[in-house]
Amino acid sequence: MNGPRRFPEAAREALGDSQLRANLRRATHTIRDRRAAVVAEIGEWEALREAGRAIKEATMRHLDVHLEALERSVTDRGGVVHWARDAAEANATVARLVHEAGAREVVKVKSLATDEIGLNDALAAEGITAHETDLAELIVQLAHDTPSHILVPAIHRNRAEIAALFRRTLPGAQGVSDEPAALAEAARRFLRERFLGARVGVSGANFAVAQTGTVCVVESEGNGRMCTTLPEVLITVMGIEKVIPSLADLGVMLQLLPRSSTGERMNPYTSLWTGVAPDDGPQAFHLVLLDNGRTDVLADATGRQALHCIRCSACLNVCPVYERTGGHAYGDTYPGPIGAILAPQLHGMRGPTTSLPWASTLCGACADVCPVGIDIPGVLIHLRGRVVAQAARGDVPAGERLGMEAMARVFSSRRRYEAAQRLARAGARPLARGGRIEHRLPGPLAGWTMSRDLPAPPAQTFREWWRAR
Protein backbone atom coordinates (compact mmCIF):
# COMPACT_ATOMS: atom_id res chain seq x y z
CA MET A 1 0.00 0.00 0.00
CA ASN A 2 1.15 3.52 -0.63
CA GLY A 3 0.70 4.73 2.96
CA PRO A 4 0.06 8.46 3.23
CA ARG A 5 0.60 9.16 -0.50
CA ARG A 6 -2.20 10.15 -2.83
CA PHE A 7 -3.09 7.87 -5.73
CA PRO A 8 -1.47 9.90 -8.55
CA GLU A 9 1.98 9.84 -6.94
CA ALA A 10 1.77 6.14 -6.00
CA ALA A 11 0.38 5.18 -9.43
CA ARG A 12 3.20 6.99 -11.22
CA GLU A 13 5.73 4.84 -9.35
CA ALA A 14 3.80 1.62 -10.04
CA LEU A 15 3.61 2.38 -13.77
CA GLY A 16 7.40 2.25 -13.91
CA ASP A 17 7.43 -1.41 -12.81
CA SER A 18 7.11 -3.48 -16.01
CA GLN A 19 7.29 -6.81 -14.11
CA LEU A 20 4.34 -5.74 -11.93
CA ARG A 21 2.27 -4.85 -14.99
CA ALA A 22 3.07 -8.19 -16.63
CA ASN A 23 2.11 -10.14 -13.48
CA LEU A 24 -1.16 -8.22 -13.14
CA ARG A 25 -2.13 -8.55 -16.79
CA ARG A 26 -1.55 -12.31 -16.83
CA ALA A 27 -3.45 -12.94 -13.58
CA THR A 28 -6.43 -10.61 -14.11
CA HIS A 29 -7.02 -11.77 -17.69
CA THR A 30 -6.96 -15.41 -16.60
CA ILE A 31 -9.52 -14.85 -13.86
CA ARG A 32 -11.87 -12.72 -15.93
CA ASP A 33 -11.84 -15.23 -18.81
CA ARG A 34 -12.84 -17.97 -16.36
CA ARG A 35 -15.60 -15.76 -14.97
CA ALA A 36 -17.01 -15.00 -18.40
CA ALA A 37 -17.15 -18.72 -19.24
CA VAL A 38 -19.08 -19.82 -16.13
CA VAL A 39 -21.39 -16.81 -16.16
CA ALA A 40 -22.33 -17.61 -19.77
CA GLU A 41 -23.58 -21.02 -18.59
CA ILE A 42 -26.47 -19.40 -16.70
CA GLY A 43 -29.23 -18.06 -18.90
CA GLU A 44 -30.88 -16.16 -16.05
CA TRP A 45 -27.64 -14.53 -14.84
CA GLU A 46 -29.06 -11.00 -15.04
CA ALA A 47 -32.11 -12.05 -13.00
CA LEU A 48 -29.76 -13.56 -10.43
CA ARG A 49 -27.78 -10.31 -10.27
CA GLU A 50 -30.99 -8.37 -9.74
CA ALA A 51 -31.96 -10.72 -6.91
CA GLY A 52 -28.58 -10.14 -5.26
CA ARG A 53 -28.92 -6.38 -5.66
CA ALA A 54 -32.41 -6.40 -4.16
CA ILE A 55 -31.29 -8.48 -1.16
CA LYS A 56 -28.43 -6.14 -0.34
CA GLU A 57 -30.49 -2.99 -0.84
CA ALA A 58 -33.32 -4.24 1.38
CA THR A 59 -30.87 -5.42 4.05
CA MET A 60 -29.11 -2.05 4.22
CA ARG A 61 -32.48 -0.31 4.57
CA HIS A 62 -33.15 -2.21 7.83
CA LEU A 63 -29.59 -3.02 8.87
CA ASP A 64 -30.20 -2.36 12.56
CA VAL A 65 -33.07 -4.86 12.67
CA HIS A 66 -31.05 -7.60 10.97
CA LEU A 67 -28.02 -7.06 13.20
CA GLU A 68 -30.09 -7.34 16.35
CA ALA A 69 -31.69 -10.52 14.98
CA LEU A 70 -28.21 -11.89 14.23
CA GLU A 71 -27.08 -11.16 17.77
CA ARG A 72 -30.08 -13.01 19.22
CA SER A 73 -29.56 -16.01 16.94
CA VAL A 74 -25.85 -16.32 17.71
CA THR A 75 -26.42 -15.92 21.46
CA ASP A 76 -29.27 -18.47 21.49
CA ARG A 77 -26.90 -21.03 19.95
CA GLY A 78 -24.10 -20.56 22.45
CA GLY A 79 -22.02 -17.85 20.79
CA VAL A 80 -21.04 -14.45 22.15
CA VAL A 81 -21.45 -11.22 20.15
CA HIS A 82 -19.15 -8.21 20.65
CA TRP A 83 -19.83 -4.79 19.12
CA ALA A 84 -16.84 -2.71 18.02
CA ARG A 85 -17.26 0.93 17.03
CA ASP A 86 -13.77 1.20 15.55
CA ALA A 87 -10.49 -0.59 14.94
CA ALA A 88 -9.18 0.07 18.46
CA GLU A 89 -12.22 -1.53 20.10
CA ALA A 90 -12.15 -4.54 17.77
CA ASN A 91 -8.41 -5.14 18.27
CA ALA A 92 -8.71 -4.79 22.05
CA THR A 93 -11.59 -7.28 22.10
CA VAL A 94 -9.71 -9.90 20.08
CA ALA A 95 -6.53 -9.48 22.16
CA ARG A 96 -8.50 -9.84 25.39
CA LEU A 97 -10.21 -13.02 24.16
CA VAL A 98 -6.86 -14.56 23.13
CA HIS A 99 -5.36 -13.74 26.54
CA GLU A 100 -8.41 -15.23 28.28
CA ALA A 101 -7.89 -18.42 26.27
CA GLY A 102 -4.31 -18.57 27.57
CA ALA A 103 -2.84 -18.48 24.05
CA ARG A 104 0.20 -16.69 22.64
CA GLU A 105 -0.38 -17.66 19.00
CA VAL A 106 -3.41 -17.65 16.71
CA VAL A 107 -4.05 -19.02 13.22
CA LYS A 108 -5.93 -16.74 10.84
CA VAL A 109 -7.86 -17.34 7.70
CA LYS A 110 -8.11 -14.62 5.09
CA SER A 111 -10.01 -11.67 6.51
CA LEU A 112 -10.10 -8.25 4.92
CA ALA A 113 -11.78 -6.83 8.02
CA THR A 114 -8.77 -7.77 10.17
CA ASP A 115 -6.45 -6.26 7.55
CA GLU A 116 -8.55 -3.11 7.66
CA ILE A 117 -8.11 -2.73 11.43
CA GLY A 118 -4.44 -3.79 11.52
CA LEU A 119 -5.14 -6.74 13.80
CA ASN A 120 -1.81 -8.53 13.31
CA ASP A 121 0.19 -5.51 14.48
CA ALA A 122 -2.19 -4.93 17.39
CA LEU A 123 -1.82 -8.56 18.51
CA ALA A 124 1.96 -8.36 18.15
CA ALA A 125 1.96 -5.36 20.48
CA GLU A 126 0.19 -7.62 23.02
CA GLY A 127 2.80 -10.37 22.62
CA ILE A 128 0.56 -12.54 20.43
CA THR A 129 1.77 -13.99 17.12
CA ALA A 130 -0.75 -14.27 14.28
CA HIS A 131 -0.04 -16.87 11.57
CA GLU A 132 -1.74 -16.24 8.24
CA THR A 133 -2.93 -19.55 6.76
CA ASP A 134 -4.32 -18.53 3.38
CA LEU A 135 -1.48 -19.24 0.93
CA ALA A 136 -1.50 -15.78 -0.62
CA GLU A 137 -1.76 -14.09 2.78
CA LEU A 138 1.13 -16.27 4.02
CA ILE A 139 3.24 -15.08 1.07
CA VAL A 140 2.43 -11.46 1.91
CA GLN A 141 3.24 -12.00 5.60
CA LEU A 142 6.56 -13.77 4.94
CA ALA A 143 7.61 -10.96 2.59
CA HIS A 144 6.61 -8.24 5.11
CA ASP A 145 4.45 -6.98 2.26
CA THR A 146 0.85 -5.80 2.04
CA PRO A 147 -2.04 -7.30 0.01
CA SER A 148 -2.67 -5.85 -3.43
CA HIS A 149 -5.89 -7.64 -4.45
CA ILE A 150 -9.07 -8.48 -2.56
CA LEU A 151 -9.16 -12.11 -3.62
CA VAL A 152 -5.53 -12.78 -4.59
CA PRO A 153 -3.51 -10.70 -2.13
CA ALA A 154 -0.15 -11.71 -3.68
CA ILE A 155 -1.24 -11.20 -7.30
CA HIS A 156 1.69 -8.84 -7.81
CA ARG A 157 4.20 -11.68 -7.31
CA ASN A 158 4.97 -14.43 -9.81
CA ARG A 159 6.01 -18.03 -9.14
CA ALA A 160 9.73 -17.35 -9.36
CA GLU A 161 9.49 -14.59 -6.77
CA ILE A 162 7.43 -16.78 -4.44
CA ALA A 163 9.87 -19.69 -4.74
CA ALA A 164 12.77 -17.40 -3.86
CA LEU A 165 10.81 -16.10 -0.87
CA PHE A 166 10.03 -19.61 0.40
CA ARG A 167 13.68 -20.65 0.09
CA ARG A 168 14.66 -17.70 2.29
CA THR A 169 11.95 -17.94 4.92
CA LEU A 170 10.33 -21.38 5.23
CA PRO A 171 12.10 -24.11 7.25
CA GLY A 172 13.06 -27.06 5.02
CA ALA A 173 12.13 -25.25 1.79
CA GLN A 174 15.64 -24.30 0.67
CA GLY A 175 15.44 -26.44 -2.48
CA VAL A 176 11.83 -25.78 -3.46
CA SER A 177 11.15 -25.21 -7.17
CA ASP A 178 8.70 -22.71 -8.64
CA GLU A 179 6.23 -25.44 -9.66
CA PRO A 180 2.79 -24.74 -8.11
CA ALA A 181 2.57 -28.21 -6.52
CA ALA A 182 5.98 -27.83 -4.90
CA LEU A 183 5.15 -24.38 -3.54
CA ALA A 184 1.83 -25.61 -2.15
CA GLU A 185 3.53 -28.59 -0.50
CA ALA A 186 6.14 -26.37 1.18
CA ALA A 187 3.40 -24.10 2.54
CA ARG A 188 1.31 -27.08 3.65
CA ARG A 189 4.17 -28.57 5.68
CA PHE A 190 4.77 -25.21 7.38
CA LEU A 191 1.12 -24.50 8.13
CA ARG A 192 0.13 -27.97 9.31
CA GLU A 193 2.18 -27.58 12.51
CA ARG A 194 0.52 -24.20 13.19
CA PHE A 195 -2.97 -25.62 12.73
CA LEU A 196 -2.35 -28.54 15.08
CA GLY A 197 -0.79 -26.36 17.77
CA ALA A 198 -3.19 -23.41 17.78
CA ARG A 199 -5.74 -22.97 20.56
CA VAL A 200 -7.37 -19.91 18.96
CA GLY A 201 -8.50 -19.34 15.38
CA VAL A 202 -9.40 -15.96 13.91
CA SER A 203 -11.52 -15.74 10.78
CA GLY A 204 -13.37 -13.29 8.65
CA ALA A 205 -16.83 -13.95 7.23
CA ASN A 206 -18.36 -13.75 3.78
CA PHE A 207 -21.91 -13.75 5.14
CA ALA A 208 -23.79 -14.13 8.43
CA VAL A 209 -27.45 -15.15 8.43
CA ALA A 210 -29.63 -13.20 10.86
CA GLN A 211 -32.37 -15.85 10.77
CA THR A 212 -30.18 -18.66 12.17
CA GLY A 213 -26.92 -17.09 13.38
CA THR A 214 -25.03 -19.09 10.74
CA VAL A 215 -21.66 -17.71 9.62
CA CYS A 216 -20.26 -18.59 6.19
CA VAL A 217 -16.71 -18.57 4.82
CA VAL A 218 -15.90 -19.62 1.26
CA GLU A 219 -12.37 -20.44 0.09
CA SER A 220 -10.35 -22.61 -2.23
CA GLU A 221 -7.62 -24.24 -0.16
CA GLY A 222 -9.25 -25.83 2.89
CA ASN A 223 -7.16 -23.74 5.26
CA GLY A 224 -10.26 -21.83 6.29
CA ARG A 225 -12.00 -25.00 7.37
CA MET A 226 -8.94 -26.09 9.38
CA CYS A 227 -8.80 -22.67 11.01
CA THR A 228 -12.50 -22.62 11.93
CA THR A 229 -12.77 -26.22 13.18
CA LEU A 230 -9.51 -27.29 14.87
CA PRO A 231 -8.88 -24.61 17.56
CA GLU A 232 -10.71 -24.62 20.89
CA VAL A 233 -11.75 -20.97 20.47
CA LEU A 234 -12.95 -19.31 17.26
CA ILE A 235 -13.12 -15.53 16.91
CA THR A 236 -14.79 -14.13 13.78
CA VAL A 237 -14.34 -10.45 12.91
CA MET A 238 -17.00 -9.25 10.48
CA GLY A 239 -18.06 -5.91 9.06
CA ILE A 240 -21.68 -5.19 9.92
CA GLU A 241 -22.63 -5.02 6.23
CA LYS A 242 -22.03 -8.78 5.81
CA VAL A 243 -25.32 -9.72 7.47
CA ILE A 244 -28.10 -11.11 5.25
CA PRO A 245 -31.61 -11.91 6.46
CA SER A 246 -32.16 -15.61 5.63
CA LEU A 247 -30.71 -18.90 4.40
CA ALA A 248 -32.65 -18.40 1.16
CA ASP A 249 -30.71 -15.16 0.62
CA LEU A 250 -27.48 -17.07 1.27
CA GLY A 251 -28.45 -19.43 -1.54
CA VAL A 252 -28.54 -16.52 -3.97
CA MET A 253 -25.20 -15.17 -2.81
CA LEU A 254 -23.49 -18.56 -3.06
CA GLN A 255 -24.42 -18.68 -6.74
CA LEU A 256 -23.14 -15.17 -7.43
CA LEU A 257 -19.90 -15.13 -5.44
CA PRO A 258 -17.85 -18.08 -6.77
CA ARG A 259 -18.65 -17.36 -10.41
CA SER A 260 -17.72 -13.70 -9.99
CA SER A 261 -14.61 -14.22 -7.89
CA THR A 262 -12.67 -17.30 -9.00
CA GLY A 263 -14.71 -18.26 -12.07
CA GLU A 264 -15.95 -21.46 -10.42
CA ARG A 265 -19.46 -22.88 -10.28
CA MET A 266 -19.05 -23.27 -6.53
CA ASN A 267 -16.18 -22.77 -4.13
CA PRO A 268 -14.17 -25.91 -3.26
CA TYR A 269 -14.77 -25.20 0.44
CA THR A 270 -17.92 -23.59 1.79
CA SER A 271 -17.84 -23.66 5.61
CA LEU A 272 -20.96 -22.91 7.65
CA TRP A 273 -21.16 -22.90 11.44
CA THR A 274 -23.92 -21.98 13.87
CA GLY A 275 -22.95 -21.28 17.47
CA VAL A 276 -21.20 -24.13 19.29
CA ALA A 277 -21.96 -27.84 19.65
CA PRO A 278 -20.62 -30.26 22.32
CA ASP A 279 -17.57 -32.24 21.14
CA ASP A 280 -17.80 -30.80 17.61
CA GLY A 281 -15.48 -28.00 16.56
CA PRO A 282 -14.53 -24.99 18.71
CA GLN A 283 -16.18 -24.98 22.12
CA ALA A 284 -16.25 -21.17 22.29
CA PHE A 285 -17.37 -18.87 19.48
CA HIS A 286 -17.09 -15.08 19.50
CA LEU A 287 -18.48 -12.85 16.76
CA VAL A 288 -17.03 -9.31 16.62
CA LEU A 289 -19.33 -6.98 14.66
CA LEU A 290 -17.22 -4.14 13.28
CA ASP A 291 -18.56 -0.69 12.40
CA ASN A 292 -15.37 1.35 11.78
CA GLY A 293 -17.11 4.02 9.68
CA ARG A 294 -19.79 1.85 8.06
CA THR A 295 -22.75 3.60 9.71
CA ASP A 296 -21.43 6.89 8.30
CA VAL A 297 -21.34 5.29 4.84
CA LEU A 298 -24.90 4.09 5.38
CA ALA A 299 -26.02 7.68 5.96
CA ASP A 300 -25.13 8.60 2.35
CA ALA A 301 -28.06 7.49 0.19
CA THR A 302 -25.85 7.16 -2.91
CA GLY A 303 -22.54 6.15 -1.34
CA ARG A 304 -24.10 3.36 0.72
CA GLN A 305 -24.07 1.14 -2.38
CA ALA A 306 -20.43 0.47 -1.49
CA LEU A 307 -21.72 -1.59 1.45
CA HIS A 308 -23.49 -3.96 -0.97
CA CYS A 309 -20.11 -5.38 -2.04
CA ILE A 310 -19.62 -9.14 -1.52
CA ARG A 311 -15.82 -8.91 -2.08
CA CYS A 312 -15.72 -10.96 -5.29
CA SER A 313 -13.13 -8.60 -6.88
CA ALA A 314 -14.64 -8.97 -10.37
CA CYS A 315 -14.43 -5.18 -10.74
CA LEU A 316 -10.66 -5.24 -10.12
CA ASN A 317 -10.08 -7.84 -12.83
CA VAL A 318 -11.70 -5.74 -15.58
CA CYS A 319 -10.44 -2.31 -14.51
CA PRO A 320 -7.88 -0.76 -16.90
CA VAL A 321 -6.53 1.43 -14.10
CA TYR A 322 -6.03 -1.44 -11.63
CA GLU A 323 -4.43 -3.61 -14.34
CA ARG A 324 -1.72 -1.00 -14.82
CA THR A 325 -1.12 0.25 -11.29
CA GLY A 326 -1.88 -2.74 -9.04
CA GLY A 327 -3.42 -2.56 -5.61
CA HIS A 328 -0.66 -0.91 -3.59
CA ALA A 329 -1.17 2.39 -5.40
CA TYR A 330 -4.63 2.69 -3.82
CA GLY A 331 -3.09 2.87 -0.34
CA ASP A 332 -5.85 0.97 1.40
CA THR A 333 -7.04 -2.53 2.25
CA TYR A 334 -9.68 -2.20 -0.47
CA PRO A 335 -8.10 -1.48 -3.90
CA GLY A 336 -9.59 -1.22 -7.36
CA PRO A 337 -12.95 0.29 -8.32
CA ILE A 338 -14.73 -0.92 -5.18
CA GLY A 339 -11.90 0.48 -3.06
CA ALA A 340 -12.19 3.81 -4.86
CA ILE A 341 -15.75 4.17 -3.55
CA LEU A 342 -15.44 2.34 -0.21
CA ALA A 343 -12.09 3.46 1.21
CA PRO A 344 -12.70 7.26 1.06
CA GLN A 345 -16.03 6.85 2.83
CA LEU A 346 -14.62 4.57 5.54
CA HIS A 347 -11.96 7.22 6.17
CA GLY A 348 -14.61 9.93 6.52
CA MET A 349 -13.75 11.59 3.19
CA ARG A 350 -10.45 12.79 4.67
CA GLY A 351 -6.80 12.21 3.84
CA PRO A 352 -5.07 10.67 0.80
CA THR A 353 -7.95 8.32 -0.07
CA THR A 354 -10.01 11.31 -1.26
CA SER A 355 -7.95 11.10 -4.46
CA LEU A 356 -9.32 7.61 -5.21
CA PRO A 357 -12.64 8.65 -6.84
CA TRP A 358 -10.47 9.97 -9.69
CA ALA A 359 -8.63 6.63 -10.07
CA SER A 360 -11.02 5.62 -12.81
CA THR A 361 -11.68 6.19 -16.50
CA LEU A 362 -15.45 5.83 -15.86
CA CYS A 363 -15.53 3.21 -18.63
CA GLY A 364 -18.25 1.32 -16.73
CA ALA A 365 -16.70 -2.17 -17.01
CA CYS A 366 -16.83 -2.51 -13.21
CA ALA A 367 -20.58 -1.92 -13.11
CA ASP A 368 -21.13 -4.41 -15.94
CA VAL A 369 -19.55 -7.28 -13.97
CA CYS A 370 -20.65 -6.43 -10.42
CA PRO A 371 -22.76 -9.40 -9.25
CA VAL A 372 -24.95 -7.20 -7.03
CA GLY A 373 -25.33 -4.35 -9.52
CA ILE A 374 -23.41 -1.60 -7.73
CA ASP A 375 -23.35 1.53 -9.91
CA ILE A 376 -19.66 2.15 -9.25
CA PRO A 377 -19.25 4.93 -11.88
CA GLY A 378 -22.28 6.73 -10.46
CA VAL A 379 -20.90 6.56 -6.93
CA LEU A 380 -17.47 7.71 -8.16
CA ILE A 381 -19.03 10.83 -9.68
CA HIS A 382 -21.05 11.40 -6.52
CA LEU A 383 -17.92 11.18 -4.35
CA ARG A 384 -16.01 13.51 -6.68
CA GLY A 385 -18.78 16.01 -6.03
CA ARG A 386 -18.41 15.56 -2.28
CA VAL A 387 -14.65 16.14 -2.49
CA VAL A 388 -15.13 19.28 -4.58
CA ALA A 389 -17.78 20.53 -2.14
CA GLN A 390 -15.34 19.98 0.72
CA ALA A 391 -12.76 21.93 -1.21
CA ALA A 392 -15.19 24.81 -1.56
CA ARG A 393 -15.48 24.83 2.23
CA GLY A 394 -11.73 25.29 2.55
CA ASP A 395 -10.43 21.79 3.18
CA VAL A 396 -7.73 22.21 0.50
CA PRO A 397 -4.37 23.98 0.24
CA ALA A 398 -4.70 27.77 0.05
CA GLY A 399 -3.08 28.00 -3.41
CA GLU A 400 -5.48 25.48 -4.95
CA ARG A 401 -8.48 27.13 -3.31
CA LEU A 402 -7.49 30.59 -4.59
CA GLY A 403 -6.92 29.19 -8.07
CA MET A 404 -10.35 27.56 -8.15
CA GLU A 405 -11.99 30.73 -6.87
CA ALA A 406 -10.29 32.74 -9.61
CA MET A 407 -11.44 30.26 -12.23
CA ALA A 408 -14.99 30.45 -10.90
CA ARG A 409 -14.97 34.27 -11.25
CA VAL A 410 -13.66 34.03 -14.82
CA PHE A 411 -16.21 31.42 -15.91
CA SER A 412 -19.11 33.25 -14.28
CA SER A 413 -18.67 36.39 -16.44
CA ARG A 414 -18.77 36.54 -20.24
CA ARG A 415 -16.64 39.67 -20.25
CA ARG A 416 -13.96 38.15 -18.02
CA TYR A 417 -14.08 34.83 -19.91
CA GLU A 418 -13.47 36.49 -23.29
CA ALA A 419 -10.68 38.60 -21.80
CA ALA A 420 -9.08 35.43 -20.48
CA GLN A 421 -9.32 33.89 -23.95
CA ARG A 422 -7.49 36.84 -25.49
CA LEU A 423 -4.87 36.70 -22.76
CA ALA A 424 -4.36 32.94 -23.23
CA ARG A 425 -4.03 33.41 -27.00
CA ALA A 426 -1.30 36.02 -26.55
CA GLY A 427 0.49 34.01 -23.85
CA ALA A 428 0.45 30.76 -25.85
CA ARG A 429 1.79 32.28 -29.06
CA PRO A 430 5.51 31.79 -28.18
CA LEU A 431 4.86 28.17 -27.08
CA ALA A 432 2.66 26.96 -29.99
CA ARG A 433 4.01 24.94 -32.92
CA GLY A 434 1.72 23.64 -35.66
CA GLY A 435 -1.39 24.44 -33.66
CA ARG A 436 -0.26 22.61 -30.50
CA ILE A 437 1.60 23.47 -27.33
CA GLU A 438 4.25 20.79 -26.87
CA HIS A 439 6.53 22.59 -24.44
CA ARG A 440 6.06 22.56 -20.71
CA LEU A 441 4.05 25.48 -19.42
CA PRO A 442 5.73 27.64 -16.79
CA GLY A 443 5.09 27.69 -13.03
CA PRO A 444 2.25 25.68 -11.48
CA LEU A 445 0.90 24.78 -14.93
CA ALA A 446 4.00 22.67 -15.67
CA GLY A 447 2.43 19.53 -14.19
CA TRP A 448 -0.39 19.67 -16.73
CA THR A 449 2.00 19.48 -19.70
CA MET A 450 4.46 17.05 -18.15
CA SER A 451 3.05 14.10 -20.09
CA ARG A 452 0.62 15.67 -22.58
CA ASP A 453 0.43 18.40 -25.18
CA LEU A 454 -2.40 20.87 -25.69
CA PRO A 455 -4.17 22.38 -28.68
CA ALA A 456 -3.15 26.02 -28.99
CA PRO A 457 -5.95 28.58 -28.50
CA PRO A 458 -7.50 29.33 -31.94
CA ALA A 459 -6.75 32.62 -33.67
CA GLN A 460 -10.48 33.37 -33.63
CA THR A 461 -13.14 31.97 -31.30
CA PHE A 462 -16.57 30.95 -32.55
CA ARG A 463 -18.18 33.99 -30.94
CA GLU A 464 -15.66 36.32 -32.59
CA TRP A 465 -16.28 34.66 -35.94
CA TRP A 466 -20.06 34.95 -35.45
CA ARG A 467 -19.90 38.64 -34.63
CA ALA A 468 -17.55 39.39 -37.56
CA ARG A 469 -19.46 37.60 -40.34
> Dihedral through CA 412, CA 416, CA 418, CA 424, nearest 10?
-110
CB distance 272 to 281 below 8 Å: no
Average predicted confidence (pLDDT) for the chain:
92
421 three-state secondary structure: helix
Binned at pLDDT 50, 70 and 90, residue 430 comes out as confident
Residues 54-75: tens digit of each pLDDT: 999 999 999 999 999 999 999 9
Domain range enclosing 453: 398-468
Last residue of a domain, one of 267, 292, 317: 292
Domain identity same for 287 and 413: no
Residue 436 pLDDT: 81
Cα separation values, 112 from 20, 193, 292, Å = 22, 24, 13
Q: What's the CATH number where 206 sits?
A: 3.40.50.10420
Shared-domain flag, residues 96 and 224? yes
* 372 belongs to a structural domain: no
Chain-centroid distance of CA 289 in Å reads: 19
Are 84 and 232 within one domain?
Answer: yes
Let me know if residue 168 belongs to a domain.
yes
Residue 318 lies inside a defined structural domain of this protein: no
Q: Answer whether residue 307 is part of any domain.
A: no
Going by pLDDT thresholds of 50, 70 and 90, the confidence category of residue 395 is low
Number of domains in the chain: 2
Q: Is the pLDDT assigned to residue 2 strictly greater than 70?
A: no
Cβ-based neighbours of 402, under 8 Å, separated by 6 or more: none
Decide: 292 and 84 in contact? Cβ < 8 Å.
yes
- Is residue 49 domain-resident? no
Confidence of residue 3 (pLDDT cuts 50, 70, 90): low
Give me the amino acid identity at 426: A
Exposure on the CB side of residue 250, measured as CA atoms within 13 A: 22
Span 327-337, mean pLDDT? 94
Question: Is residue 202, in this structure, part of any structural domain at all?
Answer: yes
The tens digit of pLDDT for each residue in 107-117 reads: 999 789 999 99
Choosing from 232, 266, 292, the residue where a domain stops is 292
Number of H-type helices and E-type strands within the chain: 21, 13
Buried b or exposed e, range 338-374, using 16+ CB within 10 angstroms: bbbbbbbbbbebeebbbbbbbbbeeeebbbebbbbbb
Residue at which a domain ends, from 258, 292, 326? 292
The arithmetic mean of pLDDT across residues 339-363, rounded, is 95
Q: Which residues pair with 84 in a beta bridge?
A: 290
- Rg over alpha carbons for the chain, rounded to the nearest Å, is 25
Say if residues 348 and 28 touch (Cβ distance below 8 Å). no
Q: Which pLDDT belongs to residue 327?
A: 93
Please classify residue 153 by burial: count the beta carbons closer than 10 Å to its beta carbon, then call 0-12 exposed, 13-18 middle and 19+ buried. Answer: buried
Q: What pLDDT shows up at residue 97?
A: 98
Nearest to 217 by CA among 146, 273, 177: 273
Question: Are both 114 and 259 inside the same structural domain?
Answer: yes
Q: What is the 3-state secondary structure (H, E, C) of 69-113?
A: HHHHHHHHCCCEEEEECCHHHHHHHHHHHHHHCCCCEEEECCCHH
For residues 49 and 39, the answer to whether their CB atoms sit within 8 Å is: no
Residue 2 lies in a domain: no
Q: Which residues pair with 323 in a beta bridge?
A: none
Which has the closest alpha carbon to 369: 421, 318, 437? 318
Grouping H, G, I as helix, E, B as strand and the rest as coil, residue 393 is: coil
> Does residue 420 lie in a domain region?
yes
